[in-house]
Amino acid sequence: MENCIFCKIINGDIPAQRVYEDDDMLIIKDVNPQAEIHLLLLPKEHYADIEEMSDEQAQTLARCIKKLSGMTKQLGLEEGFRLVSNKGKHGCQSVGHLHIHILGGEQLGDRMA
């Protein structure tokens, strides 16, 4: 998508602190961290949210999450983490490109982030 900030980051048009990248996803550091470790998992294919996601895209996202589960030590998340995906205005989705917040590195509160 032409005006999508995450697509521009994925394409290298906007700089970001890249943590991991493969054919399916890019993981970057969040510029406004809400936890000691706050990363964003960005699927490389653009779709706004889970409602727009095709079955094939869902399978790709599942592979990305599975890959993430094997990277916990590398990312400093071996004590645990939280995954959050905001959807729509009431869900506080600020960028119309599905992304997953990865929060950890400290004891997180009991309330949902």
Domain that holds residue 44: 5-104
Higher pLDDT, 2 or 15: 15
Residue 113 lies in a domain: no
pLDDT at 89 over 90: no
**How far apart (Å, rounded) are the C-alpha atoms in residues 15 and 13?**
7
Residue 112 lies in a domain: no
- pTM above threshold 0.85: yes
pLDDT at 2 over 80: no
CATH number, residue 78: 3.30.428.10
Active-site entry in 38, 46, 97, 99: 99
For 11, other C-beta atoms within 10 Å of its C-beta total 11
pLDDT band at 86 (very low <50, low <70, confident <90, very high): confident
Is 90 one of the catalytic residues?
no
**How far apart (Å, rounded) are the C-alpha atoms in residues 10 and 43?**
9
Name the residue with tokens 């071996």: 78
